[in-house]
Chain A
């Protein structure tokens, strides 16, 4: 984990996919999108709930991907931003009666500010030291939420119960399905915005900092500004995911946002491929479904089975789902010849 500067340097920039192969990429994303739209119509409510969580975690993994894959800063503190987003939404809905949809942008903005401010002291740290600082944030967050001082708002150890919204305009679909489609629209919006962000001037500044900080500053990139900005954007997206998570789970409590969540998100990013945004959903599927599969295979040894499966994945594809995509593209390229 040291020298995180090297971490992503081998990861090509987002646009590095050759033009000829783009059709495959577009084709696959259309198929995935189609599945995401159609599948919930035929699934039971519980699976719809799981798919909602899949999208929500995919957003959180995407946020980490922008921070680590984009700007090369490592974070184990994403669970803290997720918690702040979740609590913002829950408190706004339950104490102030704000509409659930309106709480999300507020959660995003508050988390953006929080991440931006946290990015300031983190500027002096890199690699393993930054990992420790973010880790400290993740460890401290559940304890802070339990403090008696905030208890009136946060509900202390007990947490808060959140009411699940009904489908609007009298639409004849269940609450779970409505929430799923609501999440899907937000997730697609954020995904498109993120892809565009990484392709923009700011995105290139992120990647320049990731690849060589000194060279980037020599080229006139304001390193301090863009590094903290990356933290802010990442925290903001994680906050929106946290808010959605609070609405979907209908409950927030300090122990739901421990370091385990941050580690899961990190694993999701590695499995999906660091710096490859479409991989986020693959990574998210891994961290949601594989623990369940492991539990099915063996109750007592579920941890060991999970570990072995994780080892299998990183042995077979050390670069995550991105590697699978690249190999598939090359294969199809050969077939065409």
Chain B
């Protein structure tokens, strides 16, 4: 029983990473209706910016805020320059665009900061949390920030005019335009917010997985899986999905014989597909009703 509880706790700790990333994935999916494959790389780039600022002697929280501002502006710039012209292109062409962006960001980061692993500081400290060896204060802080972010997003989308406008632009662009919403800028805003949330995720994850250009590869796969598991239309689902994937991955690694680190990912993905076959819209997603 002890082992079980410990493994669940450890799972929640890693799950927090996935939840953070999944939240960013769902945000951009809400705004632009595509899964952004380059999301992880954008987050990695933002994290490097924060690291660079700290190397130059900027205090942690200032670096944090500057990075958020930079990521927000960067997200909008990427949308305006690269993806707005592709708005009318086929969906698969857009996906190819994400792959191209992935390659560019990864390669530029690799050349600028090279591929050696870097330490990243944490504001929460890394002592054991509440006497448990499995969750450090950093991981507890990470869970706290993720939940806080979720609440803020909920408030933003439910109770502000601009949040309402963004929801309108995403669900019915035609009608939204007719009531005077600038849908094109709402999409750009969505990119900016997703990029900023990605930056938060990156900064929180970096102390755990260490900073390097490929740090997001594995995390993004789990983030996607968590987002799809929870239902791509629901930010809450993404966070719950993240924790579920983390816990399940750990339990499968502990209790199913023969599953080492190598098979953790396939097993986690197999679980998700099983869930999807039973509930095709994810755990919390709205089923899409098609008009004939």
Contacts and interface: CB of A to CB of B under 8 A. Distances in A.
Contacts of B262: 143, 146
B93 A314 contact: yes
Contacts of B101: 307, 311
B175 to A, nearest CB: 18
A121 B273 CA distance: 9
Interface stretch (A88-96, A133-141, A193-201): A133-141
A128 B266 contact: no
B277 A121 contact: yes
Contacts of A11: 90
A315 B277 contact: no
B280 A1 contact: no
Contact of A314 (B29, B96, B106, B265): B96
B100 interface: yes
Interface in A280-329: 300-308, 310-311, 314-315, 318-320
A267 B270 CA distance: 26
A128 B90 CA distance: 15
B232 interface: yes
A130 B19 CA distance: 22
Contacts of B104: 303-304, 307-308, 311
B272 A136 contact: yes
A10 B91 CA distance: 11
A98 B110 CA distance: 46
A310 B100 CA distance: 6
> Chain B: interface residue count, which band?
35 or more
Nearest to B107: A303
Interface stretch (B62-70, B81-89, B135-143, B195-203): B81-89
Contacts of B94: 1
Interface in A95-144: 121, 124-126, 128-129, 131-133, 135-136, 139-140, 143-144
A36 interface: no
B34 interface: yes
A136 B104 CA distance: 25
A77 B2 CA distance: 39
Contacts, number: 146
A124 B277 contact: yes
Nearest to B29: A2
Nearest to A5: B290
B90 A136 contact: no
- Tell me which of B100, B272, B277 has the highest count of chain A C-beta atoms within 10 A of its own C-beta: B100
A103 B266 CA distance: 29
Contacts of A131: 35
A10 B90 CA distance: 8
B264 to A, nearest CB: 9
A1 B92 contact: yes
Contacts of A270: 92-93, 95-96
Nearest to A6: B91
Given A7-B92, A307-B104, A129 B99 contact: no
B interface majority secondary structure: helix
B265 A143 contact: yes
A83 to B, nearest CB: 14
Given A307-B101, A310-B96, A125 B277 contact: yes
Contacts of A207: none
A58 interface: no
A265 to B, nearest CB: 12
B97 A314 contact: yes
A53 to B, nearest CB: 21
B8 interface: no
Nearest to A136: B269
Contacts of A144: 266
A301 B263 CA distance: 33
A105 B2 CA distance: 54
A38 interface: no
B120 interface: no
Interface in B37-76: none
A190 interface: no
A2 B111 contact: no
Contact of A2 (B33, B90, B224, B277): B33
A303 B91 contact: no
A121 B140 CA distance: 38
Interface string B265-285: 110011011001100101000
- Tell me which of A146, A267, A274, A311 has the highest count of chain B C-beta atoms within 10 A of its own C-beta: A311
A128 B232 contact: yes
A7 B100 contact: no
A139 B269 contact: yes
A300 B91 contact: no
A263 B111 contact: no
17 contacts: A7-B90, A125-B280, A128-B232, A132-B224, A132-B273, A133-B276, A140-B266, A267-B99, A270-B92, A274-B92, A300-B107, A300-B110, A302-B107, A304-B103, A306-B100, A306-B103, A314-B97
Closest CB pairs A-B (n = 9)? A303-B107, A136-B269, A318-B89, A307-B104, A140-B266, A307-B103, A310-B100, A304-B107, A307-B100
Given A140-B269, A307-B107, A310-B100, 11 more contacts: A1-B34, A2-B33, A121-B273, A133-B273, A133-B276, A136-B269, A139-B265, A270-B93, A307-B104, A315-B86, A318-B90
